Amino acid sequence: MTFSPATLIAKKRDGGEHHPTEIHALIEGFQDGSLADYQMTAWLMAVYLNGLSDGEMTALTKAMLHSGRVLNPRRRNGAPRIDKHSTGGVGDKISLPLAAIAAACGLHVPMISGRGLGHTGGTLDKLESIPGYDTQLSIQAFERTVAKCGASIIGQTTDIAPADKRIYALRDVTGTVACRPLIVASILSKKLAAALDGLVLDVKVGRGAFMKDRASASALAKSLVQVSTKLGTPAVARLTRMEEPLGRTIGNALEVRESIEILRGEGPMDTTELTLTLASEMLLLAKVCHSRSHAMRVARAALTSGAALERFAQMVELHGGNARVVERTALLPKTRFQVPVHAPQKGFVQHVDALALALLALELGAGRKRAEDKVDHAVGLEIFVQVGDRIEKGDLVAKIHTRKHDPHHSRAVLQAIGVGAQRVERPPLLVGRAIR
Amino acid sequence: MTFSPATLIAKKRDGGEHHPTEIHALIEGFQDGSLADYQMTAWLMAVYLNGLSDGEMTALTKAMLHSGRVLNPRRRNGAPRIDKHSTGGVGDKISLPLAAIAAACGLHVPMISGRGLGHTGGTLDKLESIPGYDTQLSIQAFERTVAKCGASIIGQTTDIAPADKRIYALRDVTGTVACRPLIVASILSKKLAAALDGLVLDVKVGRGAFMKDRASASALAKSLVQVSTKLGTPAVARLTRMEEPLGRTIGNALEVRESIEILRGEGPMDTTELTLTLASEMLLLAKVCHSRSHAMRVARAALTSGAALERFAQMVELHGGNARVVERTALLPKTRFQVPVHAPQKGFVQHVDALALALLALELGAGRKRAEDKVDHAVGLEIFVQVGDRIEKGDLVAKIHTRKHDPHHSRAVLQAIGVGAQRVERPPLLVGRAIR
């Protein structure tokens, strides 16, 4: 490489700003071995503590994007390619109904997605609970699926942003994960590899999310939009609350079931509305619609007409999955026990702790503590109450889908659901306006 | 290890203070492989940017010291074991005459020394210019030599502070060398392994030194004294100027020659006085003398009586070297060319740039650019002028000992020696009082 690694590290250590060429050399050196892992981690810590400018963030994203394959889709049929990314929440299954709705509205949704780790679920794990669904399509098959039904959701192939994969593994063990510029580069280097015309970002904020407060979520959203746009992909971000779980299920098969319910028009109201809002942002970005109200109408029509459900069934089928699940969700894996949890007292639901419930679902086997763990698709939680609900003693508040009956789990559920005498109002899911 | 590496790194990243147990776990984990190189470098960068408290510095030094062998000398004959360490300067050959003087005064000087790297010379390279001198004695032979003649100077064995060796190699390539707490731990973990009763520190300050300004040199000196003392080895530090080269030679054999001249009482005045001052600090630390003036008299007597020169000859002989060099310095390696450099104009010497001359000596082959380079013992520079000297046009100002005649070198020497019309006074070598 043209720069000495130690010199580049020292520059960031001293709070200097890298020229794009230096960032490029850094990633290139990391890939060809002239910059070692132990040099990358020193640089990452310097970045964590001294930050990256907008220009540096853009250069880093670009360098990481070009560390691997960037798709070059042929059969676009004039359709705009628009994707959505969520920064990860509890019970967040929105990608599934959203991709189907957007496809039904004429968009192409080439979604390259991740697996769950820690307390947040992964879209791939959810889809794999559908018998036969293959998340490991080749890029050719992926593009064919997008061209045919408008949407495909697959896992990250090894040739997409390989530098990000290695850097993320190092960040994970060196305390450098929670760093905005590095998060931005990591998310966008993978997403932009799909050759998008637009990207909608759902940035979660709250106890159940990575960003705990609005200021940091807002800063992340702005950086994501700015860098994506600078690299030629217009983007828009929405901040959404992640204090309670999103929707009424946590767990892979359960969330697929809820996704199908949303597509049937039987989903929880606020989750359905958030899905439609994000779909309308996709339509606006694609310039398929030019007003928010028109976009909402178009998205809602895709749902009520059944067109979106049909697209979902098509996508499942093209991925080798059993498309009959859309009619019979009972085909999804189930646990032997479904333990009901009843309210021990009456009152108003004060809070529903997304993080606590996510950790319980993880405990049940719905997620991974370590990357090499296997997930149990059938286990999880159904939560029947939301903040503000008035409940009576004995009401069914939750159901635990589990392999083993354990009274400890019921107690954990009740502890996560705060009930009090005070009447409370549930704040809306969407926080603030769209960030462009 | 009992702590997760990522948790320890995150603590320092966030400006937290480590408990000594955590520092211990960090070094232990680094040694047993449960903390990887790429985690150590992330921690080192966090330390560089967030610092270490006195307690952390002490714990780190202790952990690194105990990562390897700590000597357990048997044949002490009641003699105090006192060593000296210099932070590295240009033309700094003081260890050689100093060890001999201290030994002649009844001290034991078990000196484990380093090689030169970059622009500063190494004591071992100097000694190896004496035909036959073996710097790689076993610890047994080293202790035998100390017991017999009072002093021995050897290279670091692989079993002394091995954690420091690995950490230093990582610091060197990750921009984390210039960090006071890490410098302190690195110096002391090696020095204290020799089981000392006292340590004198010569902290260089100025253009030719690692510490460029008095504030940072003073801070380093204080930390070194504090940590050494806390770990049971009383220490004292002197700050000495390093703007001009120390003495009148730069280069290995040339510096051995000058060391012998000092021991013969024929050395440059200020270098001789600095050697005696450091010797008197050693005598005070050892409580062999109780007043500065007495200690200076004792040290000077060792010189004028010839006892110190005799000790030096003994030490050389016990290391397998040709002890006749003390009578005939012509036995030292010489170059074919000794190129005189004459003053192109008259005036007063304004400055003599130690760093520029050191880089020229490095260019001639006297030092190492990389650790694997070989040094040429014969090459180097003699500088006959000091700041404040009045010179006439045509005066001999320097001699270049070189294998190849190159007019470029003479120009470089003249550029390093600033001559002007203004009369200037040479500031004393010692800066401020002793730091205890």
Instruction: Select the residue of A13, A39, A170 nearest B173 (Cβ to Cβ).
Output: A39
Task: Find, in chain A, the residue whose alpha carbon is nearest to that of B14.
Answer: A49
Tell me what pLDDT residue A117 has. 65
pLDDT of residue B127: 97
Chain A residues with CB under 8 Å of B37 CB are: 36-38
DSSP 8-state class, residue B207? T
- Looking at residue A214, its pLDDT comes to 95
CB-based contact B13 A175, cutoff 8 Å:
yes
B40: which chain A residues are within 8 Å (Cβ-Cβ)? 38
Q: Concatenate the DSSP letters of all residues of A263-317 into one string.
A: HTT-S-HHHHHHHHHHHHHHHHHTTS-SSHHHHHHHHHHHHHTSHHHHHHHHHHH
Instruction: Give CA–CA dist A167/A40, Å, rounded.
Output: 8
Q: Identify which has the larger pLDDT, A368 or A59.
A: A59
**List of E strands, B116-184:** 151-155
CA–CA distance, B362 with B250 (Å, rounded to integer): 10
Residue B26 contacts A, CB cutoff 8 Å: no
The span from the CA of B205 to the CA of A113, in Å, is 57
Which uninterrupted H or E stretch holds B205? strand B198-205
Q: Which residues of A are marked as active site?
A: 85, 164, 171, 186, 190
Block means of pLDDT (10 residues each) for chain B, 436 residues, are 87 97 96 96 98 97 96 86 94 97 98 77 92 96 96 93 94 93 96 97 92 95 98 97 95 97 96 97 96 97 98 98 96 96 96 95 89 90 96 97 94 96 93 91
Is the pLDDT at A138 greater than 80? The verdict is yes
Answer yes or no: do B39 and A173 touch at CB < 8 A: yes
Angle at B425 between CA B421 and CA B429, to 5 degrees: 140
Percent of chain A with pLDDT over 70: 98
Listed in sequence order, the residues at least 6 apart from B350 whose beta carbon sits closer than 8 Å to its beta carbon are B387, B418, B419, B420, B422, B424
Of B9, B10, B41, the CB nearest to A38: B41
Asked whether the beta carbons of residue A42 and residue B5 sit closer than 8 angstroms, the reply is: no
Closest by CA position to A156, among listed A118, A186, A197, A200: A186
The set of catalytic residues of B is: 85, 164, 171, 186, 190
Q: Which member of B38, B174, B176 has the closest CB to residue A174?
A: B38
pLDDT tens, A154-192? 998 889 999 999 999 999 899 999 999 999 999 999 999
Contact residues on chain B for A39, CB-CB shorter than 8 A = 41, 173-174
Q: Residue A282: how many CA atoms within 13 Å on its side-chain side?
A: 32
Average pLDDT of the residues of chain A? 95
CB-CB contact of A426 with A388 (8 Å): yes
| pLDDT at res. A323 | 97
* Amino acid identity at B23: I
d(CA B32, CA A129): 41
Helix axes A5-13, A20-32, angle to 10 degrees: 130
Other CB atoms within 10 Å distance of the CB of residue A407: 8
Phi and psi at residue A388, to the nearest 5°: 100, -20
Q: What distance in Å separates residue A3's CA from the closest CA in chain B?
A: 13
Using an 8 Å Cβ cutoff, are A82 and A200 in contact? Answer: yes
> In this structure, what token pair is assigned to residue A258?
């809820």
Interface test with A, best of B30, B35, B44, B45 (most A CBs within 10 A): B45
pLDDT of residue B271: 94
Contact B41 A41 (CB under 8 A): yes
Beta bridge partners of A204: A240
- The alpha carbon of residue B76 and the mean position of all alpha carbons in its chain are separated, in whole angstroms, by 25
Q: How many CB pairs under 8 A join A and B?
A: 88
Radius of gyration over alpha carbons of chain B, in Å? 22
Interface probe for B, chosen from A26, A34, A40, A41 (most Cβ of B below 10 Å), is: A41
Residue B88 CB-half CA count within 13 A: 19
pLDDT confidence of residue B117: 65
Nearest to A176 among B7, B42, B44 (CB): B42
pLDDT digits (tens, 9 = 90+) for A387-411: 999 999 999 999 999 999 899 999 9
> pLDDT at position B103, please?
98
Q: How far is A342 from chain B (nearest CA, A)?
A: 39
**Partner-chain contact B45 A45, CB within 8 Å:** yes
Cβ neighbors of A379 (< 8 A, separation 6 or more) are A251, A335, A361, A364, A365, A366, A401, A402, A403
State residue B1's pLDDT score. 58
Element (H, E) at A401: strand A396-402
What's the confidence (pLDDT) of residue B143?
95
By Cβ distance, the residue of B6, B13, B170 closest to A38 is B170
pTM: 0.88
Q: What does the pLDDT look like over B255-290, one tens digit per residue?
A: 999 999 999 999 999 999 999 999 999 999 999 999
- To 5 degrees, how large is the angle CA A218–CA A221–CA A226? 125
Contact: A38, B6; criterion CB under 8 Å: no
| Residue B84: strand, helix, or coil | strand
The β-bridge partners of A382 are: A249, A399
Selecting from B37, B45, B172 the residue whose C-beta is nearest the C-beta of A13 gives: B45
**Would you call A42 and B45 a contact, using CB atoms and an 8 Å cutoff?**
yes
User: CA-to-CA distance for A47 and A15, rounded, in angstroms?
Assistant: 9
**Counts for chain B of helices (H) and strands (E), in that order:** 16, 13
| Residue A287: burial class (beta carbons within 10 Å; 0-12, 13-18, 19+) | exposed
Cβ within 8 Å, pair B13-A44: no
DSSP bridge pairs for B225: none
pLDDT of residue B81: 97
ipTM confidence score: 0.84
Q: Is the CB of A40 inside 8 Å of chain B's CB atoms? A: yes
The confidence score (pLDDT) of residue B280 equals: 98
